[in-house]
Amino acid sequence: NVSPALQWSVIRKSSRFLLKRDGRTFTTEPNNLRNVNSFRYNGLVQEKTVGVEATADGKGVVLVTKNKHSNKPGTNLNRIPLKKNNSRRAFKTIMKRVKGEGYRKDLQSSALRRASTILRSQKTAAAQK
């Protein structure tokens, strides 16, 4: 296995996920909570990553984390659907998984912010109908 620092030095300036706009570099890679091109938020090179996505039906969020010992790319992600009517219960589950179990404490606030944004956008879309 190659170290994450070496992988980051290779893909830092040349990746298919990079977007350069207004003098800033963004990224569209999976499991990048802030969509910024930095080692901390990178979802490709980190051994432990956290991602928050909208569910396919648009009624909740999915918490995505990496498995520790999986060599199969198709099965190396844990997907936990949080289809709860109460957003506070979804936030509590995210906090428990990310910080409480010691997975990636530094990404807790970013994961909560992303989940809040997704849930808020789903709520307003439902109210407009």
pLDDT(109) > 90: yes
Percent of the chain scored above 70 by pLDDT? 93
Please check the confidence at residue 81 and state whether its pLDDT lies above 90: yes
Query: Nearest-CA neighbor of 65 among 43, 50, 46?
Result: 50
**Which three-class secondary structure state does DSSP give residue 95?**
helix
In this structure, what token pair is assigned to residue 96?
Answer: 């428990």
* Strand ranges across the sheet with 50-54: 50-54, 61-66, 77-82
pLDDT given for residue 70 in this prediction: 66
Would you call 124 exposed, middle or buried from its count of C-beta atoms within 10 A (0-12, 13-18, 19+)?
A: exposed
**pTM metric for this prediction:** 0.85
> Do the Cβ atoms of 8 and 27 come closer than 8 Å?
no
State yes or no: pLDDT of 125 exceeds 60. Answer: no
DSSP-derived letter for residue 36 is B
Q: Distance between CA 26 and CA 24 in Å, rounded? A: 6
